[in-house]
Chains A and B, each alone.
Chain A
Amino acid sequence: DSGVTQTPKHLITATGQRVTLRCSPRSGDLSVYWYQQSLDQGLQFLIQYYNGEERAKGNILERFSAQQFPDLHSELNLSSLELGDSALYFCASSVGRGARRRETQYFGPGTRLLVL
């Protein structure tokens, strides 16, 4: 158990819909990262938040957005869903500051999204 929690574990929805994925980082971690794992694109970085602020953006679509709340949990919002958005979405967290060793990212169990 990495200490990172994600809900829900599975999500089935229809095209055009909107969903919200939730992530709670490990206790004490300030950074939250979102990754998408799909068969054709592999593991891709979407977005990073650090202590409530957006810190880095990757290949995140405009239909997707995220935020990190004062209690440091994060939500990834996916809207106008398409078939191609079906994937495993991971959240990872790290301390985000201080000693090098604490920069390791620990992953949650992921949310499997299926868009029909």
Chain B
Amino acid sequence: AQTVTQSQPEMSVQEAETVTLSCTYDTSESDYYLFWYKQPPSRQMILVIRQEAYKQQNATENRFSVNFQKAAKSFSLKISDSQLGDAAMYFCAYRNYGGSQGNLIFGKGTKLSVKP
């Protein structure tokens, strides 16, 4: 069974600085998706970024980028120029590439605080 591990329960960053959140996963599959979701105090789950395992290029979305290391099964999220609105829980998630079937498997999350 696949597992997702986020080893940092809490992180803190100064406003305008850069922070990296770690995620490792375990799978025997070669084709899959990886995601980062953000959950602010409103509890809404918001997609931040996605990565497809067959793509070697790291995904980027504005200030958010990932470092995808397939061999190491590592998928970290880098937030540049941190803003107060980035404060939230961040969840790393894995999904098999399984056609129409494929639930997300989540890590336990990292709580990010942003200091003004």
Bitwise interface map of B from 62 to 105 toward A, beta carbon under 8 Å scored 1, else 0: 00000000000000000000000000000100010101111111
Interface on A for B, CB 8 Å cutoff? 2, 30-31, 33, 35, 42-45, 48, 50, 55-56, 58, 88, 90, 92, 96-97, 100, 103-107, 109-110, 112
Min CB distance B52 to A, Å, is 6
Determine whether the beta carbon of A103 is less than 8 Å from that of B103: no
Given contacts A97-B99, A100-B52, contact A42 B43 (CB under 8 A): no
Interface on B for A, CB 8 Å cutoff? 33, 35, 37, 42-47, 50, 52, 91, 95, 97, 99-106, 108-109
Identify the closest chain A residue to B35 (Cβ). Answer: A104
Main secondary structure, interface of A, reads: strand
Question: Which listed residue (B42, B97, B103) contacts A33, Cβ 8 A?
Answer: B103
Question: Which listed residue (B43, B52, B95, B100) contacts A110, Cβ 8 A?
Answer: B43
Closest 3 CB pairs of A and B: A107-B45, A45-B103, A43-B106
Main secondary structure, interface of B, reads: loop
Question: Which listed residue (A2, A42, A88, A100) contacts B108, Cβ 8 A?
Answer: A42
Given contacts A43-B91, A100-B52, contact A106 B47 (CB under 8 A): yes
Determine whether the beta carbon of A42 is less than 8 Å from that of B106: yes
